[in-house]
Amino acid sequence: MWNWEYTIKILPEILAALKITISATFVAFLVALVVGLMLTLARRSHFRPLSLTAHGFVEFVRSTPLLVQLYFIFYVLPEYGLSLSPFIAGVIGLGLHYSTYLSEVYRGGIESIPPGQWEAAKALNFSPLDTWRKIILPQSIPPVIPVMGNYLITMFKETPILSAITLVEIMQTAKMLGSHSFRYLEAFTIVGVLFLVLSYSSSLMVRRLEVRLNLR
């Protein structure tokens, strides 16, 4: 049933595609980190239209499937003259989707800052920008780094969805190998084991980081 010879033959090809999976993960995570922070700040804005728009965006993106959002970016934007490569469309889609989750993470960090910090900043005549840059964000981000790490792992696991918009990452490679040989077992099992090993080991690292942050 399980063919080791075949497994060893296809393994290098799947491992080679891991590069695309990993670079897509990190670029999308960067998008999510930046957009997530912007969404959090926009939601806290006193300018109602801005905070309502940001809130609506978060609600909408969080309750619709990532796959459909990717289709939207990949198939609808070209209608308006904006053709994106599968990689770019994929990282934008994945990044925007998880930016809504990360905005909750930022919010949690910011809301845990005692009001005294805001008052002190005001008493010391800090400008709003300096208050955020020097007082609030440096204190609210480090405690939530483990949570962000967990989202990085989640995004890594979700990258196979990008194969639906024809990005050739490890899942797409496995699908192509399978359709050539009519044997899906080995290819898909390798992909599963790779994800399991990489995400489980990185989640152990996040847990260690969490312990270390709590000790301080």
Partner 1 sequence: MWFDILPSFWEGAKITLELTLFSAILALFLAFIAGFGRLSKFRAVRILATTYVEIFRGTSLFVQLFWIYFALPLFGIMLPKFAAGVLALALNAGAYGSEIVRSTIISVPKGQTEAAIALNMTPWQRTRLVILPQAFVMMLPAFGNLIIELLKGTALVSLVTLSDLTFVATVLNSSIMRPTEIFSVLLIIYFVISLPFTRGIRWIEHRLSAGRY
Ramachandran quadrant class, 45 (left: phi over 0; alpha: psi -120 to 50; beta: rest): beta
* Dihedral sign for Cα atoms in the order 190, 195, 200, 201: positive
100 binds partner 1 (CB under 8 A): no
Binding mask of the shown chain, residues 41 to 80, with x at each position contacting partner 1 by CB under 8 A: ------------------xx-xxxxxxxx-xx--xx--x-
Report 162-201 residues binding partner 1 (CB under 8 A). Answer: 164, 171, 175, 178, 183-185, 188-189, 191-192, 195-196, 199-200
Report 194-213 residues binding partner 1 (CB under 8 A). Answer: 195-196, 199-200, 203
| Comparison of 112 and 189: residue with beta carbon closer to partner 1 | 189
Give long-range contacts, CB 8 A cutoff, 24+ apart: 188-196. Answer: 190/7, 190/10, 190/11, 190/14, 191/14, 191/160, 194/14, 194/18, 194/170, 195/156, 195/157
State the nearest-atom distance from the C-beta of 137 to partner 1, in Å.
Answer: 27
How far is residue 72 from each of residues 43, 90, 113, 167, measured CA to CA in Å? 25, 11, 38, 15
Residues that bind partner 1 (rule: CB under 8 A) add up to a total of 36
Amino acid at 24: A
Q: Do residues 37 and 108 make contact, with C-beta atoms less than 8 angstroms apart? A: no
133 binds partner 1 (CB under 8 A): no
State the nearest-atom distance from the C-beta of 214 to partner 1, in Å.
Answer: 17
108 binds partner 1 (CB under 8 A): no
Residues forming the site for partner 1 (CB under 8 A): 1, 59-60, 62-69, 71-72, 75-76, 79, 157-158, 160-161, 164, 171, 175, 178, 183-185, 188-189, 191-192, 195-196, 199-200, 203
